[in-house]
Amino acid sequence: MESVLITGGAGFIGSNLALELERRHPDIRVTIIDDFRSGEFSNLIGFRGDLVAQDLASMDLLGRFKPGEFQAIFHLASITDTTIIDARQMISNNVEGFRRVAELARRSGTPLIYASSAAAYGVCRSGRMREDQPARPANVYGFSKVLLENLAERFDSAPGGFKIVGLRYFNVYGSGEAHKGAAASMIYQLAKQMQAGKRPRIFKYGEQARDFVYVKDVVEATLLAAEAGHSGVYNVGSGRPTSFNEIIALLNKAMGTDDDPDYFDNPYPFYQPHTEADITRARDGLGYDPKYPIDRGIAEYAIQCMAAGATQRELS
Active site residue 141: yes
Query: According to the model, what pLDDT value does residue 248 have?
Result: 97
Catalytic annotation present for 268: no
Q: What is the pLDDT of residue 309?
A: 61
Which residues make beta-bridge pairs with 29? Answer: 3
Q: Which residues contact 271 (CB under 8 A, 6 or more apart)?
A: 123, 203, 208
From the CA atom positions of the chain, what is the Rg in Å?
A: 19
- H helices of 196-274, where? 215-225, 244-255
> What pTM does this model have?
0.94
* Residues of the chain falling short of pLDDT 50: 311-316
What's the confidence (pLDDT) of residue 181?
Answer: 85
Q: Domains in the chain, please, with CATH?
A: 3-171+213-236 (3.40.50.720), 174-211+240-265+293-311 (3.90.25.10)
Distance CA 250, CA 245 (A): 9
Give the pLDDT confidence of 34-61 residue by residue, as tens digits.
999 889 999 999 999 999 999 999 999 9
pLDDT tens for 220-274 read 999 999 999 999 999 999 999 999 999 999 999 999 999 999 999 988 777 788 9
pLDDT given at position 126: 75
- Out of 114, 121, 141, 173, pick the active-site residue: 141
Active-site residue (options: 145, 163, 169, 180): 180
Q: Which residues pair with 129 in a beta bridge?
A: 277
Beta strands in 66-145, from DSSP E residues, in sequence order: 72-75, 112-117
